[in-house]
Homo-oligomer: A and B are copies of this chain.
């Protein structure tokens, strides 16, 4: 078992099955040693864990959990693409979009759900640049969507 797979197990986490491509785009696109993961939604066993907006429809706590689930789905997509998450040398960037009521301004707290996950899984290599913003609505009514860029070590 790879080191990262062992770490995920140790944290009591499970990677979901990778989602099938849903159109003329792909879950992960590679250029050189950079991988871009398409915007992930907090699906778990086929249903959305967090529907927005926050906080009128989705609590802050639930949105944080949703962001973490988006991160797990991104890891699943990367695992499927790479075969082994040990090849990830650095999480470079995380973009977090939060379905927000006009008065909601705690998007960074929601984003911590995925940022903390990546730090737990990858340690210092999991620390990334981040942008977190609000949206009036998001695909399928999700409360949160997460986009990820990682660097991999040479083939």
Residues of A bordering B, CB below 8 Å: 22-29, 31-34, 36-39, 53, 90-95, 97, 99-108, 111-112, 115-116, 118-119, 126-142, 145, 147, 149, 151
Contacts and interface: CB of A to CB of B under 8 A. Distances in A.
A145 B129 contact: no
Contacts of A138: 105, 107, 133-134
B135 A135 contact: yes
A71 B65 CA distance: 32
Given A31-B90, A128-B29, A23 B108 contact: yes
Nearest to A35: B129
Contact of A37 (B119, B127, B129): B129
Nearest to A120: B24
A28 B91 CA distance: 12
Contact of A130 (B32, B33, B38, B126): B38
B22 A93 contact: no
